[in-house]
Structure 1
Amino acid sequence: MEGHRERKKARTRRALLEAAVRLFAERGYEQTTVADIAAAADVAPRTFFAYFASKEDVLFLQAGERERVMLEAIAGRRPGEPLGELLSRMFEAMVRSLAEDDELGFALSPLRARLMVAEPALRARGLTLMMETQPRLARALCEVYPGLDPVSAGAAVGSFMGALAAAGMVAQEQGGSEDDVLAAGRRGIEVAVNGLASLDRP
């Protein structure tokens, strides 16, 4: 019985996600209400709030999970692993996490990128999340690289996240496939890592 309930919850959650993604793309973010999303998913509005705290949470659904994956990758630094290699491995861990979930990750990503350009509230939310996450990642790097000072750790995290976001967004704007976006992310990290080589310690 528990398995059935969990499957039903997963189906409802996905139905809400799919409805939100479709309506945001068709009508626009501001023009789409929670009631619209709920109706499209054939549930009551209160059901929406059982899964999401707000409309914008649909677009930032995976933020907490992505941070957890990155922190776990940092905590699992291998003996003697250079900083650049760790950051590359951290990206691959995020890619695996995206592939394993069933939350429309790649469908949400290009839509979120477009809406963040057009909607100030979403842009502010995205920047806030990034500003909250980066210091935690920097502190985690300092813990596993005792010789790395906090300022350099912050610069490393900023280079990584900035290069990843910008390269991926350009690929999306060019109409790239999922593979193209991933390749762009890897290229962005490669550029960032080459610039970070001076921070590696023997």
Structure 2
Amino acid sequence: MTESPGLRERKKRRTRQALIEAAVRLFERKGFEHVTVAEIAEAAEVSTRTFFLHFQTKEDVLFANADVRIDLALQAVAERRAEERFPEVLVRAMEQMIANSWDSDLTSGLAALRVRLAESAPVLQARLSQLYVTAQTELARALHQAYPDELDPIAAAALVGAMVGAVSAATLASLRRGDSPEGVRNAMRQAVDLVVCCHHRAN
């Protein structure tokens, strides 16, 4: 009997999550550099080929939800209401990411592990930097295109850079302090509020 699309999608999500959980356990125990893709696949009880259907490299497992966060932010800009000003849209974009895409990273320990491993693994540091640049570039472009009469490319890039940079820095500090998932989310929201406050003062 042929599986329904819904069943296939649920199995795909379960396999992906199993790979993430297996990688987290192995990275915690052996360190990032000493774990192979084959070991992750074996621990998740799937083939190496199946691993590569979900992730291109083992570092991709640590950043499994990064694209989701960017997509949520871009969606918030695309779905802006006619009366919304750009600061409100940017805040809503950040809130979408905080509320809807960080939960599994925080509760699984993936976010905290990512921070610890990045401190000693240059390849992960480079990947983090790449993701931040990509997120800022795409969101700044979307915000400028949404408000071309109010934000030129430089202003949009500066505003998004301030917001993403503040949230990222607060997240890292909170994770390094060992805060609970809710504590990390509160730190993110505090960073958003601080940037908004500074923006209002400047204007």
Using the size of structure 2 for normalisation, the TM-score is 0.88
Specify whether residues 188 and 96 from structure 1 end up closer, same or farther in structure 2 by C-alpha distance, changes over 3 A only.
closer
Count of residues in Structure 1 that have an aligned counterpart in Structure 2: 197
- Kindly state the Cα deviation for residue 95 of structure 1 after the two structures are TM-superposed: 2.8
Partner of 1:134: 136
Asked if 1:81 is matched to 2:94, the reply is: no
Identity %: 44
Q: Deviations over 1:18-53 (max 9, x none)?
A: 100111111111111111111211222222112111
Higher relative contact order (CA 8 A, sep 6+): 1
Partner of 2:23: 20
Which of 151, 155, 159 in structure 1 is aligned with 2:162? 159
Alignment of 1:40-79 (within 5 A): 40-79=43-82
Asked if 1:119 is matched to 2:121, the reply is: yes
Partner AA of 1:105 in structure 2: D
Q: Deviations over 1:109-132 (max 9, x none)?
A: 111122222211011011112222
Classify the secondary structure of the residue corresponding to 1:25: helix
Asked if 1:180 is matched to 2:183, the reply is: yes
Is this contact kept in 1: 2:115–2:176, CA < 8 A?
Answer: no
Q: RMSD in angstroms over aligned alpha carbons?
A: 1.9
Q: In 2, Cα distance between the equivalents of 1:14 and 1:136?
A: 27
Q: Deviations over 1:52-107 (max 9, x none)?
A: 111111011112211111011112223343333222211221133227x8xx3223
Specify whether residues 197 and 111 from structure 1 end up closer, same or farther in structure 2 by C-alpha distance, changes over 3 A only.
same
Classify the secondary structure of the residue corresponding to 1:30: helix
Q: In 1, Cα distance between the equivalents of 2:12 and 2:138?
A: 32
Asked if 1:33 is matched to 2:36, the reply is: yes
Q: In 2, Cα distance between the equivalents of 1:160 and 1:34?
A: 35
Q: Deviations over 1:107-158 (max 9, x none)?
A: 3211112222221101101111222221221111112222112111111111
- Kindly state the Cα deviation for residue 10 of structure 1 after the two structures are TM-superposed: 2.7
- Which sits farther off after the overlay, 16-25 or 141-150? 141-150
Q: In 2, Cα distance between the equivalents of 1:81 and 1:114?
A: 39
Partner AA of 1:141 in structure 2: L
| Unaligned stretches of 5+ residues in structure 1 | none
Is this contact kept in 1: 2:163–2:195, CA < 8 A?
Answer: yes
| Unaligned stretches of 5+ residues in structure 2 | none
